[in-house]
Amino acid sequence: LPVNDDLLEKVFITVKTTGRNHLTRLPVIIRTWFQLAKKQTWFFTDTNDQHLSQVTGGHVINTNCSATHSRRALCCKMSVELDVFLETKKKWFCHVDDDNYVNVPALDELLKMYNPIGDWYLGRTSTPKPLQIRAKSQKTTFWFATGGAGFCLSRALVLKMAPISGNGKLMAIGDRIGLPDDVSVGYVIEHLLKIQLTRVEQFHSHLEPMRLIKKDLFNEQLTFSYSLDNEPNTVDVDGFNEITDPTRLTFNVSKFLWITTTVIGHVKS
């Protein structure tokens, strides 16, 4: 092993996206945290996009999954993300949504704390109780990490999942339990493989109020998110407002540096 082993080199970061989000959600990612993890990050989508391919150095994978928000389509994408990861030699798989900001240096620090030779399922739950389902007329409860907050799996674990959910079989699992992709992943890991989720509260989805994340703890957080629906839910950062930066992600939280304001024009258009 090289002495100055760059841990980030060991990570494969997947961003789940869809054709109609390419121009609305990806520019802010590409201008910010993607720049710190260009070699590690890949966009998993459902349409061919020459421009996206060009600005990401070819880091776009067309999963050929359908471009809908259906459970099957999302399980299809997640299963391609996991299958492609196994084709790499990377030690860690980290999934995020296209409305996540990844604090790259913090992610690096997190993964240094765990050995990828072990089975690790790192993420944040968004339900107060474990999920209870009825499978084969048996009650089962399990936890799952919210996909929209981002989660990481060690290679050892993804290898164990492969016979059960690899090669597209995650879709069948989703069909069987009738639940979304992130829940299906939790079902495979916690229920079928009996490996427990390690809760990491620094992953964040827009299911939580983003404004509750304290400013002085920003640099310890692993991910952020936003939603701009009727009731906007965004990280509370000084200096930007709704008009100049609707997502509040152009602020490079990890280094407390402002990304140039010229970026902001791109976000809006």
Question: Residue numbers of the site for ligand UDP (CB under 6 A)?
Answer: 16-18, 21, 67-69, 73-74, 77, 97-99, 148
Q: Are strands 131-135 and 198-199 parallel, antiparallel or unpaired?
A: unpaired
Please tell me which residue in 119, 182, 216, 245 is annotated as part of the active site.
Answer: 182
Q: Could you tell me which stretch among 93-101, 183-191, 195-203, 249-257 binds Mn ion (CB under 5 A)?
A: 93-101
**Rounded Cα–Cα distance for residues 48 and 244 (Å):** 30
Q: Could you tell me which stretch among 41-49, 67-75, 121-129, 140-148 binds Mn ion (CB under 5 A)?
A: 140-148
The CB density around residue 186, as the number of other CB atoms within 10 Å, is 26
Q: Could you tell me which stretch among 91-99, 121-129, 215-223, 243-251 binds Mn ion (CB under 5 A)?
A: 91-99
**Rounded Cα–Cα distance for residues 195 and 206 (Å):** 26
Shortest approach of ligand UDP to residue 222 CB, angstroms? 17
Nearer to ligand UDP by Cβ, of 45 and 165: the residue is: 45
Shortest approach of ligand UDP to residue 111 CB, angstroms? 22
Nearer to ligand UDP by Cβ, of 71 and 91: the residue is: 71
Both tokens of 256, joined, read 């407390």
182 binds Mn ion (CB under 5 A): no
Burial 232-251 (b: 16+ CB within 10 A, else e): ebbbebeebeeeebbbbbbb
* Binding to Mn ion, residues 200-239 (CB under 5 A): none
Of 12, 3, 174, which Cα lies nearest the Cα of 83?
12
Shortest approach of ligand UDP to residue 45 CB, angstroms? 7
Residue 102 and residue 222 in contact, taking contact as beta carbons nearer than 8 Å:
yes
Q: What are the CA-CA distances from residue 121 to residues 7, 146, 172, 181 (Å)?
A: 18, 12, 21, 15
Catalytic, 99? Answer no
99 binds Mn ion (CB under 5 A): yes
Residues that bind Mn ion (CB under 5 A): 99, 148
Q: Which residues carry out catalysis? A: 182
